[in-house]
Amino acid sequence: MSTLKTIEVDQFLAHPPAVVWRALTDPALLESWWAPSDIVPEVGRAFTITFPDWGVQRCTVTAVDEPRTLAYTFSEGLLDSTITWTLVPEGAGTRLLLAHAGFDVDTPIGLTGFTGMGHGWPLVVAHLGTVLDAA
């Protein structure tokens, strides 16, 4: 039986949900804080995210509730995980919740992904806040 793990990040951003949503769904903005992508926020839409060190990762949008929830598969055929972004209005800003789920830590690739991304996601989400603050 596989042991599946989830990475969770909770970050307050001093920007309204519409601004954060755009940063998650506009390919040019997504590239400015994470990686190049051809994302289109439509359920069933396949897209890619390209990383210099890890190559092209195939994804498929699984849920869209603008500007509250965006979910997609990540690294199809390799990690087979799911990323869910939840945006919660909080005062004049947004509480951004990330859940990256489905890491099979009983496999070498799953354990490596869970460990590496467990350290990396908080930095990536913090960088998103920095990029938004500078805009």
Q: What is the residue range of 101's domain?
A: 4-134
- pLDDT value for 7: 97
- Residue 107 sits in a domain whose CATH number is 3.30.530.20
- pLDDT value for 52: 87
The H or E element that residue 112 is part of is: helix 108-134
Domain count along the chain: 1
- pLDDT value for 135: 81
Give the strand pairing for 69-74 and 46-51.
unpaired
- Specify the amino acid at residue 56: V
Q: How many CB atoms lie within 10 A of CB 110?
A: 21
- pLDDT value for 11: 96
- The DSSP code sequence of 59-85 is EEEEEEETTTEEEEEESTTTT-EEEEE
Structure tokens, 40: 């289109």
Q: How many CB atoms lie within 10 A of CB 53?
A: 4
pLDDT string in tens for the chain (135-residue length): 678 899 999 999 999 999 999 999 999 999 999 999 999 999 999 999 999 888 899 999 999 999 999 999 999 999 999 999 999 999 999 999 999 999 999 999 999 999 999 999 999 999 999 999 998
